[in-house]
């Protein structure tokens, strides 16, 4: 599942090809996504408008169009954005194709259909964004703020990091990696972390997300970048997916536990419960 770095990499990859380009026509697939505007709404608001900006909030991509219209996309579990010369070849599971000026097509493909494609008329700020927490790189995110948020919620540090209503865009892979780097046991109650712990969590969160963005996002899951390439830039993961393999720091076997129905990977020696 794409996390913040993957979505950011897609945004950076697509923006040069999309900005300033006009949407001419749409092709709308027959099957519906988990959340998707009606074909009539797409046809009313998208064709004829220039793409002015491409933003990211959490794991959402926001296409800011002429006249204050916003197209919001979420890649869900298996969503892909493929930008290439039109007409784009027939592919299964394509839900929306934007035919653009200059002979380019942007296709949104989503096999499992957990993605979202919603259009918002002028003046309507997309309501899914109301549920999106602060951006990890925002100045408003400080160790003190994290500690305060954690005290208000009773949960483990792993589940706290993955709560997109607090910090946007951190999923299962990066939560495991951040806690390994910060040397914190994933089962620790978030409310018990010290100020120094929060300082390390924030520093490692930013370092790891930046490293992943710089390397083009990981390719652990069923994910393609904006040019449809896969297998690029594999980030070296320290613990995620490495159960039984030696810890890169101390050599002890990496362990796996289940938290909130998701696998967490950690080193039992480097990440002791306090």
Binding site for Zn ion (CB under 5 A): 247, 249-250, 252, 267, 269-270
Is 2 noted as a catalytic residue in this protein? yes
The residue at minimum Cβ distance from Zn ion is 247
Of 100 and 267, CB closest to Zn ion: 267
Are the C-beta atoms of 73 and 37 separated by less than 8 Å? no
Where b means 16+ CB within 10 Å and e means fewer, 200-234 reads: bbbebbeebbeebbebbbbbbeebbbbeeeeeeee
DSSP annotation string for 51-71: EEEEEEETTEEEEEEGGGEEE
CB of 272 to Zn ion, least distance (A): 10
2, 5, 136, 186: the active-site residue: 2
Of 7 and 267, CB closest to Zn ion: 267
CB of 251 to Zn ion, least distance (A): 7
Whether omega before 87 lies within 30 degrees of 0, making that bond cis, reads yes
CB of 204 to Zn ion, least distance (A): 15
Are the C-beta atoms of 161 and 193 separated by less than 8 Å? no
* Residue whose C-alpha is closest to residue 59's, from 230, 183, 217, 179: 217
Is 262 noted as a catalytic residue in this protein? yes
SS3 at position 2: coil
Is 246 noted as a catalytic residue in this protein? no
35, 155, 262, 268: the active-site residue: 262
Of 219 and 264, CB closest to Zn ion: 264
57, 59, 158, 200: the active-site residue: 59
**CA–CA distance, 39 with 96 (Å, rounded to integer):** 10
* Residue whose C-alpha is closest to residue 4's, from 222, 213, 265, 273: 213
**CA–CA distance, 73 with 70 (Å, rounded to integer):** 10
Task: List Cβ neighbours of 25 (8 Å cut-off, separation of 6 or more).
Answer: 47, 99
Is 3 noted as a catalytic residue in this protein? yes
Of 107 and 270, CB closest to Zn ion: 270
**CA–CA distance, 170 with 91 (Å, rounded to integer):** 30
Of 56 and 185, CB closest to Zn ion: 185
CB of 245 to Zn ion, least distance (A): 11
CB of 146 to Zn ion, least distance (A): 24
Mind telling me the catalytic residues? 2-3, 59, 262
């Amino acid at each position: 599942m794409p996390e913040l770095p993957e979505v950011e990499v897609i945004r950076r990859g697509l923006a040069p090809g999309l900005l300033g380009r006009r949407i001419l026509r749409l092709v709308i697939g027959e099957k519906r996504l988990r959340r998707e505007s009606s074909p009539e709404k797409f046809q009313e608001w998208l064709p004829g408008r220039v793409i002015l900006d491409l933003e990211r909030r959490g794991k959402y991509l926001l296409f800011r169009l002429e006249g204050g219209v916003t197209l919001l996309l979420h890649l869900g579990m298996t969503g892909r954005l493929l930008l290439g010369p039109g007409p784009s070849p027939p592919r299964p599971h394509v839900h929306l194709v934007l035919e653009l000026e200059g002979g380019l097509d942007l296709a949104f493909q989503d096999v499992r259909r957990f993605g979202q494609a919603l259009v918002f008329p002028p003046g309507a700020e997309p309501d899914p964004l109301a549920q999106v927490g602060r951006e990890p790189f925002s100045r408003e995110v400080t160790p003190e703020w994290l500690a305060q948020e954690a005290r208000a919620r009773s949960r483990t540090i792993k589940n706290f990091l993955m709560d997109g209503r607090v910090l946007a865009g951190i999923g299962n892979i990066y939560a495991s990696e951040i806690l390994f780097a910060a040397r914190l046991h994933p089962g620790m109650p978030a409310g018990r972390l010290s100020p120094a712990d929060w300082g390390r969590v924030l520093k490692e969160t930013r370092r790891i997300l930046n490293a992943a963005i710089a390397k083009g996002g990981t390719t652990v899951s069923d994910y393609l970048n904006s040019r449809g390439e896969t297998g690029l830039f594999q980030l070296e993961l320290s613990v995620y997916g490495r159960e039984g393999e030696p810890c890169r720091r101390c050599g002890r076997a990496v362990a796996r536990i289940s938290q909130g129905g998701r696998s967490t990977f950690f080193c039992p020696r480097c990440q002791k419960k306090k």
